[in-house]
Structures are given as C-alpha cells and as structure tokens.
Structure 1
Amino acid sequence: PYIGKNYYIPKPMIAVQTEDESKQGDSRQKKKFKNLKYIPVSTLADFVNGTFPEEHMEDMKYLGLYDMKVSVGIHGMEEPEPFRVNTWHFNTGTGLYVLAGYENESDRELLDELFESLQYTGIGGKKSSGLGRFVYKVCKVPEDMMGYLKKKSGKNILLSTALPEDEELEQVMKGSSYLLIKRSGFVDSSEYALQQMRKRDLYVFSSGSCFAHTFRGRIIEERNGGKHPVFRYAKAFFMGV
C-alpha cells in the first residue's frame, strides 16, 4: 500500500530490540508492534535499529475502511437469496503500488498493455459485480527505495510471495526467518474447463520473510486437466536490509 507519499513494505520478520528500555515491558506497545503489518520504507533503518517511530504504528487506519453491501443470488435458486459482501474502500490519496522490472522496451509496452486492460476488468473477488476496478499510472521509484533494492546485504526481505526450486531449499533455509502461507482459489478462465476448476493448494514463503541467501523462485504450471496452460507465479523479489 501507499498513503500520500509514503510507500509501505511488509514488516520484516526479524527480531528487533527497542533501545528505549522503558518501553520493553509495555504490553500495549508490544501489541501494537505485533499487529504491525507494513512499515514505511523510509523507516526501515529505524525499524532494524529498534527505533521505529511510534507515530507510524497505526498508519493503516488511514488507508481506507471496510463496508458491507447486500446482494441477491438468483442463479440456480427457486427463490432469491440475499447475501452479504464485505468491501474495502481506499481513502483519497491512498492505494496499492506495484514494483516492476523489465529488460527491454517491448517488455515495458506489454506491461502497460496488461495494466491498461486489468484496470477495467478489476482485481480481487466479485469482479463481475464491478468491484476491484482501478486507475493506474506509472511513477518513478523513490530514491530511498531504489537504494534498498540495489543493496547487497546479509539479510534480505522478500517483497513477493515466492517458492525456491527444490534443490535450493536447504541452502535458502539457512539463517532465514519466514512464514508459510497457502495459495489456492479457482482458475479464472471461462475456456479452461466446462466448470470452474479449483487450483491445487500451493504453500509459499510469505512476503516479509527474511533470508540470508536469496533465490530466483519459479513459475509452476497448474496440472488438473484443463484445456490450456495455467501458471502460478512464485518468483522472488528481494530488498536488502
């Protein structure tokens, strides 16, 4: 997410000791810190040094708010059945950003074309109801963030979800602190099969996981008998601490 000119990254999964001894036993402070999911990239050095600014502890409350709307299901039902849908609304001046790299101009043009199309179809759930649409624009990566992305480091934050090759796993696990999350869901294609097909469960490293040894990650083909290939993206995108 971003809020104004602050770009946020996942909270790194590293042990941090606060320098302020008076706050080390503060349960309220510990709870805030535990619930922290994202930090401004400009505060990364402070976070690592144990001097994370308290005013950024609850930044995400300025990102937006949840709402609920009632819809009615009629497909395949004798009587219309109402159901509730949770929605998220971004506040003005907030949203989501994506970091992307490319090797040549044709790659960049393809990326632009894909985002141009995606902003009309939407992302997330309930796209058929008009949710998830957005407006995108291309911006320059802030200098402090670019510095971390180029930095060679003994500890690296995973910004994406990712999965190393099997033969890399033993080396990757050395000196790491990580969380595994399950990726599942349905294949989003009307031509893949006669009925909507569920993807196989895939366990990947969560964003925010930290590694001493970086890896490239991989792209995995979904294999459940559909009419065309479907790929799962598990490439790694690291930032040096």
Structure 2
Amino acid sequence: MKYAVYTLRFLTPVHFGDSAGGGSLEKTSFICSADTYFSALCREASAASNELVGMLIEKFHSGRLQLSSLFPYYMQADNLQLYLPKPFWQTELATDDLQPFSVMKETMTKLKKMKKATFVRVSRLQELITALNHKEFYEINTPVFAYKEMNTKVNSRLEESMPYFINNYHFVDNAGLYFIVGFEDEDDLAALEDLIKSLGYTGIGSKHSSGYGKYEFADDPIILYDENDGIYEDDTALVQLLNNSKGAFQLAVAPLLPSVDDITIVKMGVYKLLKRSGFVYADIDEKYIKKNNVYMLAEGSCFGRRIKGNMIAEKIDGVSHAVYRNGLGMFVGLNYEK
C-alpha cells in the first residue's frame, strides 16, 4: 500500500457536528471523521453519476483505497507539523510511596496536563508510548489550530421567527486539516483527487449549504511510496508508522466498525465508543431526516493488530438510495521500546 497526504486550507468556518454531545448546532468540533468525509465524497460523486458512487464504494470496500480522518496540521517556519490523536492509554506516573506534598502536587499537575492533551505530533508518538510504558511524564505541547465562534441565526420557517445559535471554528493562518489516503493504483488516486478538489467548492460538514466548510489544497499532495520518502520530519515518521503493520501497538486513525470475528481483539485493546449520527436528504419526501445512530470505535483506540472493519449500507425510509457508513479502519503501528 502506498500513501498520499493531503493538506487542506479552509476558506470559510467549519462546523463538524459532535454526536457525542447531543448533535445540536451548539456542539461542534474542528475535526472531521473519516466516515463523515467519505459520505461527503459519495454525495459529491452522486452529482456526476451513480456509477461513480458505485466505483468509489467498491474501491474502499475492497481495500484498494483507504482514508484516515481529518486531523490538524500546523506550518511553522517552513516545517509541516502533522498531528494524530493521543492514544487512549490509562496514564500513570511512577511514584514513591512517600513523597512531600509539593512533589505530589507537581506530579498531579503533570498528569492532568498529559490527560488533557488530545493530539500529538507524529514524530513524537513513539517517544510518548515509550514514556507511558515506563510510567514516565512526557510533555505534550500543541499550538492553537483554530478558535471557536458563535453565530446567531433566525429560523423564519416557523409561525414565529425564533433565534438559534451555531458554533463554528475558524482555523488560524498557519493551520488546517490533513488526511491520509492509502492507495494501490495511481489511477484510483487520481480519480479520488478530482472528487476531493471538487468537494472543496461544495464544502464539508454541517451547514455546508450555508457556505461553511469550503477549502482548497494548501499544497501539492505528499506521495509516500516507502519509508525513505518524506519531505518533513513528521511525514517521514508517518510513512514509517503506516508501514509498521507488525508493531505490537496499532493506533486507529479512522473510526472503526469491527466485525463479530474481531471482538476478541477489541476486548484486548483500549478503545472509546463514538456515536455517529447526523442527517440525510430524503429525496422522496424532499426533506432532511435523521439517520440511525451507529456506534464505532473512535480514532485513538489501540489494538494488538490491525482490524479491517466494516462498511454498512442502510436503507432509510424516504431515501431512494442506500446510506453508506464507512467503518473501515486505518492504523499506524508503534512499538514497546525499552
């Protein structure tokens, strides 16, 4: 499998619904999950032809194309910093039985800071795992990627116009989102890239019909064929982790919907359930209706080996086509270093 890294510069605010927070417009994230982005690609492909949608689904289902979630990047002094979710690891620090109060307070402050961090630079991931394995403190520093803003809107469709609020994120000048595409055939990548570019004009996330979520490529894609490829420190480390399928520690970088046969492996791992919901346009009734809730394993979950995952097709009343939920995983491999 070969990989390509796409960096996106957002031209408008973004609103990615937070299903775990109830899915209201006031709950939002600046991270876009792979299943959300895949659905947006299918929506964009359907504007061209049903055949293109079928081709896209078949390529992903067969494993010839893979997709990670969209994570933050930060460009600092011509150095592209790529971030991945911090692994779900029960953090403990090694301590002596008896310690002065000041030392215990400092230890707890460090532990709290480690737990609060959500993203880690790709080139620092292995160092973090090694420190956690030895119950040592590891300082995680991340820049400000985006800032939150609340907008007030008016719903005039009711008998009495009522205000409502939308939270969204604006990315700072040097930041945006990136994602990884795994591919086997360069023609497949070229076809997918056309869709990715076209989707930038349409927008992604909730409220894209109101102009949110529009983007352009921040730079040319970085194509990673083998472990010797890479332009920066982080993308060089990234391709090594992506190719480390034998590593004892496999970190999910896309939501995962495991099969029944994978439950044994899941039980041995560390994971967090992720509620995926949202709305779909019912073309028969010409209105938006709520999709069924699906629970997946979130990005940052860790297992002893890679799990393929599933893509499910739901039939929803009022919708003439199947609604696909992409729970096919993507992983980076890490090792337990002494």
User: What TM-score do you get using the length of structure 1 for normalisation?
Assistant: 0.88
Contact 1:179 1:206 (C-alpha < 8 Å) held by counterparts: yes
* Aligned match for 2:88, one of 5, 10, 13: 13
Contact 2:88 2:300 (C-alpha < 8 Å) held by counterparts: yes
Match of 2:182 in 1: 101
Match of 1:179 in 2: 272
Q: Distance in 2 between matches of 1:161 and 1:40?
A: 19
Unaligned 5+ segments in structure 1 are: none
* Aligned match for 2:260, one of 161, 166, 172: 166
User: Match of 1:126, as an amino acid?
Assistant: K
Q: Distance in 1 between matches of 2:333 and 2:151?
A: 42
The DSSP-based 3-state class of the residue aligned with 1:197 is strand
* Aligned match for 2:152, one of 70, 90, 97: 70
User: Match of 2:120, as an amino acid?
Assistant: I
TM-superposed CA distance for 1:24, in Å, is: 8.7
The DSSP-based 3-state class of the residue aligned with 2:209 is helix
Match of 2:57 in 1: none
- Residues 97 and 23 from structure 1, CA distance in 2 versus in 1: closer, same or farther, beyond 3 angstroms? farther
Q: Distance in 1 between matches of 2:168 and 2:89?
A: 32
Q: Distance in 1 between matches of 2:122 and 2:206?
A: 28
TM-superposed CA distance for 1:47, in Å, is: 0.5
Residue correspondence of structure 1 range 67-146 to structure 2 within 5 A? 67-75=149-157, 77-136=158-217, 137-140=219-222, 142-146=235-239
Contact 2:91 2:111 (C-alpha < 8 Å) held by counterparts: no
Q: Does 1:220 align with 2:312?
A: yes
Q: Does 1:237 align with 2:308?
A: no
1:148-187 Cα offsets, whole Å, 9 max, x none, are 11112111000100111122222x2253111111111111
Q: Distance in 2 between matches of 1:8 and 1:18?
A: 24
1:51-82 Cα offsets, whole Å, 9 max, x none, are 6653x33x15x11111112222212x234322
Q: Distance in 2 between matches of 1:146 and 1:192?
A: 45
Q: Distance in 1 between matches of 2:269 and 2:287?
A: 41
Does 12-21 or 226-235 show the bigger shift? 12-21
TM-superposed CA distance for 1:213, in Å, is: 2.6
TM-superposed CA distance for 1:126, in Å, is: 1.3
- Residues 138 and 24 from structure 1, CA distance in 2 versus in 1: closer, same or farther, beyond 3 angstroms? farther
Q: Distance in 2 between matches of 1:145 and 1:23?
A: 36
Q: Does 1:202 align with 2:294?
A: yes
- The structure with the greater share of residues assigned to strand is 2
Q: Distance in 1 between matches of 2:91 and 2:295?
A: 27
Does 137-146 or 63-72 show the bigger shift? 137-146
- Residues 138 and 52 from structure 1, CA distance in 2 versus in 1: closer, same or farther, beyond 3 angstroms? farther
The DSSP-based 3-state class of the residue aligned with 1:66 is strand
Match of 1:2 in 2: 73
Q: Distance in 1 between matches of 2:89 and 2:162?
A: 47
Q: Which has the higher contact order (CA 8 A, sep 6+)?
A: 2
Aligned-CA RMSD value: 2.2
Unaligned 5+ segments in structure 2 are: 1-71, 97-102, 225-234
Match of 2:22 in 1: none
Contact 2:202 2:214 (C-alpha < 8 Å) held by counterparts: yes
Contact 1:18 1:24 (C-alpha < 8 Å) held by counterparts: no
User: What TM-score do you get using the length of structure 2 for normalisation?
Assistant: 0.64
User: Match of 1:220, as an amino acid?
Assistant: I
Contact 2:316 2:322 (C-alpha < 8 Å) held by counterparts: no
Does 137-146 or 219-228 show the bigger shift? 137-146
- Residues 212 and 24 from structure 1, CA distance in 2 versus in 1: closer, same or farther, beyond 3 angstroms? farther
Does 133-142 or 211-220 show the bigger shift? 133-142
